[in-house]
Structure 1
Amino acid sequence: MNSTLDKFFGGKQGGIGLLILAALLLLVFPLLLDSFRLNMVGKYLTYAFVAVGLVLCWGYGGILSLGQGIFFGLGGYCMAMFLKLEASDPESTRIQSTPGIPDFMDWNQITELPLFWQPFQSFGFTLLAVVAVPAILALIIGVAMFKRRVGDVYFSIVTQAIAAILTILIIGQQGLTGGVNGITDLKTLLGWDIRTDEAKTILYFVNAALLIGCILIGRFILASKLGRLLMAMRDKEERVRFSGYDVASFKIFVFCVAASFSAIGGAMFTLQVGFMSPSFVGIVPSIEMVIFAAVGGRMSLLGAVYGALLVNYGKTVFSESFPELWLYFMGGLFIAVVMYFPNGLAGLWQSHARPWLARLRLPDRRQPSMKPKPPAEQPGAGGATIDAVPAKQLESTP
C-alpha cells in the first residue's frame, strides 16, 4: 500500500494534495460557476497539461523547451481536422463548388480532399494521431539534438525556431490548414453537438479527468528509477553519463512524454473552444506556457496546475479591465515570481504555509511511558542516537 501511495500519489501528503485538487476541479468549480465560467476554467486546464509536461521536462529533466506550443497546436489541429471533416459532409457543403471538403479548401480552389487529410475521417485514427504525431516530432527533434549533446540555451533557441517555422508553414498553406484563421466552425463530435452548454460541461469533466490521469502518470515516472536519474542528469549530467547511462535516451523519453501531454491539452482545447489557429503554436504562447510552470513551481506537478489557473485567470481579468496594460501585468507577475518566489506557488507553500499549519497542531497530551529506554537510547550509553544524526543526512536516508 505504501509503495502504491509513493508511486501514484507521492506519499500521504501528495495524495491529500491530489484529492484537494480533484475536489476543487470536480466538485467546487462545477457547483459554484455558471456554464460560461466553467468552460473558461476548462480552457485554462488545457494549458495545465502543458505545464505538467514542463515540470517533467524542465523541472526534473533540466530541458527548457520554449516550443511546447508546437505540440499543443499539433494535438489541437489533429482533433480539429476530424471535427472539420465531420462538419463538411456533402449535405452541409452542397452550396460549395466541391461539396464534401472543408470550406477553406473550396475557397482556395482545391477540388479534392488532400491525401494527408483522409485518415482523419476515422475517429480512432484521430485519437491515435493526437498523441502519436507530436510524440514522433518530439522524437525527431530529441534524436537530432540530444544525441549530439545540444542542450541548455541552444536547445531552447532551436525549439523557438521550430515554433516560428511551423507557424509560418501553417499560415502559408492556407488551402490545406485554414491559414491565419485556422480551422473554425466545428460543430459536432460523432454527431454530438459540442456547442451546447451541456456538452461543454461534460467536456470539462473529461478534461479534468484526463489532467488528473496525466498527473498520476507523471508521479509514477518521478517515483521510478527514471525520476531519480532525471534529477541526477539535471544536476550532474556528465557524472551520470560516465556511470554508463545513456543520457540522451532518457532526455528523449521525457521530452516525448511532455509533448504527448501538451498534445492532449491541445485536443481538449479544440473540443472546448471550438477552433484551432496558428496563434497557439508560435513563440509567444510557448513562452507563456513556461510562465505557467514557473509560477506554479517547476518542481511540482500540482503546482503547475494552480499556476496555469492563476496566470490565465489574471490574464483574463487584466485584459478585461486594462486592455492596453495587461501584458505589463503579466510580465510583472513573472518577474516578481522569479525574483521573490523562485520555486513558485509550491515553494511558497513549503516555506510558509506548511510550517504555519504545523504550529497549529495540538500538542500530544498522552502520558509518557514509564518503561525505561533501551541502553542504546540513553545518554552516555555509547550507542549512536537518532538525535546525533544531522538533519540533512536524515533527509537523504531512503
Structure 2
Amino acid sequence: MNFVYEKLMGGKAGFTGFVILAVLILLVFPLFLDVFRLNLVGKYLTYAFPAVSLVLLWGYGGILSLGQGIFFGLGGYAMAMFLKLEASSPENTAIQSTPGIPDFMDWNQLTELPWFWVPFESFTFTLIAILVVPAVFAYLIGAAMFKRRVGGVYFAIITQVIAVILTVLIVGQQGFIGGINGITDLRTLHGWDITSDSAKMIFYYVCCFLLLAVVVVGRFILTSKFGSLLLAMRDKEDRVRFSGYDVSNFKIFIFCIAAMFSAIGGAMFTLQVGFMSPSFVGIVPSIEMVIFCAVGGRMSLIGAIYGTLLINFGKTTFSESFPQLWLFLMGGLFIAVVMFFPNGLAGIWQSYSHYITGPLARLKSSLIKGPAARGAVKLSEDVG
C-alpha cells in the first residue's frame, strides 16, 4: 500500500491532486457538459498526453523537444489508417474505379493498396504500431543526436526541423497518405459507428483513463532511481557521466517514452475527432504543446493537464466571444501566467494546497480517532 501511495501517487499532495483531477474529468465534466462540449474536452485531453510527456522530457530531463507533434501525428495516422481501410471496404467504395482502396488513392489513379498500408488491416497490429513506430522513430533520432552529445537549443532546433520535413513529406504524398487534406471520413470501428453520441462518450472515458494511467506511469518513473538520475542529468550532466552512467542511453530511453505517450494522445484524437491531417504534425502544434506544459508547470504531470485544459478552454472561449481579438487575449493569458506564476499552475497548487489537504487530513484523523475513542469509552464503562 505504501508503494502505491508514495511511488504511484506521489504522497499526500500528489494523491489529493490525482483524486481531484479524476473527479473533475470523470464526474464533473460529464455531469455538467453536453455531448458536444464533452467531446471538445476530450479533444483537449488528447493534447495533454504530449504535454505530460514534456514534463518527463523537458521538466525533469532538461531535453526541450519542439517536435512532439511528430509522435502525436504518427499515433494519429496509425489509427486513421486502420479506420480508413475499414471505411474503404469494396462495398463502401463500389463506385470507385478501384474498389477496396481509400478514396484519395483512387482519385490519384492508384490501382492497389500500397504495401505499408496492408498490415493496418489488423487492429492488433495497429495498436502495437501506435506505440512501436513512434518509439522506433524516437530511438533513431535520439541515438543520432544524444550519442554525439547534441543537446540544448541544437536538439530543439533539430526536432523542429524534423517536424517540418515530416509535414512536407506528408503533404507531398497525396496519393499515399492523403496529402494536405489528411485522412478523413472515418466512420466505424469494427462496424461500430464512432460518430454517435454514445461512442463519443465512451471514447471520452477511455481517453480519461488512459491519461490517468500515463500520469501513474510517469510518477513511477520519476519516483524511481531513474527519475533521480534524470534530475541529476539535467543539472549536472558531466558529473553523472563521470560517475559511470551512460547519459545518452538514459536520454534515448526517456525520449522514447515521451514519444509513446504523445502517440497515444494522437490515436485518441483520431478516434474522437474522426480525422488526422499534417496540420497536427508540424511546428505550430509542437510549440503549443510546450506552452501547455509551461503554463501547467513543467515539473508537474498533473499541472500539464490543467495547463492544456486552460489554454484550450481559453482558445475556444476567446475565439467564440471575441473573434477579432482572441489571439491577443491568448497571448495575454500566457504572459500573465508566466509573469505572475513562474512555476505554472502547479506552483499555485504547491502554495495553496494546504488549504485543501489540511482539512482532509483532519477529517481523516477524526474518522480514525472517532471509533477508537468510542471504543475506549465503552471499555471503561464495561470495566467500571
User: Paired residue for 2:29?
Assistant: 29
Q: Is 2:343 the partner of 1:354?
A: no
- Write out per-residue CA displacement over residues 26-47 of structure 1, whole angstroms, 9 at most, x where no aligned residue: 1111111111111011000000
User: Paired residue for 1:5?
Assistant: 5
3-state SS of paired residue (2:353): helix
Relative to structure 1, is the Cα distance of residues 253 and 77 closer, same or farther in structure 2, using a 3 angstrom cutoff?
same
Q: Is 2:84 the partner of 1:105?
A: no
- Write out per-residue CA displacement over residues 214-236 of structure 1, whole angstroms, 9 at most, x where no aligned residue: 00000000010000000111111
Displacement, 1:357? Answer: 5.3
Partner AA of 2:4 in structure 1: T
User: Paired residue for 2:380?
Assistant: none
User: Paired residue for 1:274?
Assistant: 274
State the distance in 2 between where 1:69 and 1:92 align: 32
Higher mean displacement: 332-341 or 191-200: 332-341
Aligned ranges 1:1-150 → 2 under 5 Å: 1-150=1-150
State the distance in 2 between where 1:206 and 1:354 align: 29
User: Paired residue for 2:185?
Assistant: 185
User: Paired residue for 1:292?
Assistant: 292
Displacement, 1:7? Answer: 1.0
Partner AA of 1:354 in structure 2: S
**CA contact 1:74–1:133 (8 Å) conserved in 2:** yes
Partner AA of 1:89 in structure 2: S
Aligned residues: 364
Q: What value does the CA root-mean-square deviation take over the aligned residues?
A: 1.7
Displacement, 1:336? Answer: 2.4
3-state SS of paired residue (1:202): helix
Relative to structure 1, is the Cα distance of residues 91 and 14 closer, same or farther in structure 2, using a 3 angstrom cutoff?
same
User: Paired residue for 1:305?
Assistant: 305
Displacement, 1:332? Answer: 2.3
Calculate the TM-score normalised by the size of structure 1: 0.89
User: Paired residue for 1:169?
Assistant: 169
User: Paired residue for 1:342?
Assistant: 342
Relative to structure 1, is the Cα distance of residues 104 and 347 closer, same or farther in structure 2, using a 3 angstrom cutoff?
same
State the distance in 1 between where 2:300 and 2:288 align: 18
State the distance in 1 between where 2:282 and 2:148 align: 25
**CA contact 2:46–2:269 (8 Å) conserved in 1:** yes
State the distance in 1 between where 2:357 and 2:97 align: 71
Displacement, 1:19? Answer: 1.2
State the distance in 2 between where 1:10 and 1:355 align: 15
User: Paired residue for 2:218?
Assistant: 218
- Write out per-residue CA displacement over residues 111-165 of structure 1, whole angstroms, 9 at most, x where no aligned residue: 0000000000000000000111111110000001111110010000000000000
Answer 1 or 2: which has greater helix percent.
2
3-state SS of paired residue (1:159): helix
**CA contact 2:130–2:263 (8 Å) conserved in 1:** yes
User: Paired residue for 2:381?
Assistant: none
Displacement, 1:355? Answer: 5.2
**CA contact 1:50–1:258 (8 Å) conserved in 2:** yes
3-state SS of paired residue (1:165): helix
Relative to structure 1, is the Cα distance of residues 26 and 150 closer, same or farther in structure 2, using a 3 angstrom cutoff?
same
**Which runs of 5 or more residues in structure 1 are unaligned?**
367-398
Partner AA of 2:344 in structure 1: G
3-state SS of paired residue (1:335): helix
**Which runs of 5 or more residues in structure 2 are unaligned?**
370-384
User: Paired residue for 2:243?
Assistant: 243
3-state SS of paired residue (1:115): coil
**CA contact 2:26–2:208 (8 Å) conserved in 1:** yes
Partner AA of 1:311 in structure 2: I
Partner AA of 2:271 in structure 1: L
3-state SS of paired residue (2:180): helix
- Write out per-residue CA displacement over residues 51-77 of structure 1, whole angstroms, 9 at most, x where no aligned residue: 110100000000110010000001000
Partner AA of 1:290 in structure 2: V
Displacement, 1:20? Answer: 1.2
**CA contact 2:79–2:130 (8 Å) conserved in 1:** yes
Higher mean displacement: 25-34 or 150-159: 25-34
Partner AA of 1:135 in structure 2: A
Calculate the TM-score normalised by the size of structure 2: 0.92
Partner AA of 1:204 in structure 2: Y
**CA contact 2:297–2:304 (8 Å) conserved in 1:** yes
**CA contact 1:73–1:280 (8 Å) conserved in 2:** yes
**CA contact 1:2–1:11 (8 Å) conserved in 2:** no
Displacement, 1:6? Answer: 1.2
Identity %: 73
State the distance in 2 between where 1:339 and 1:30 align: 33
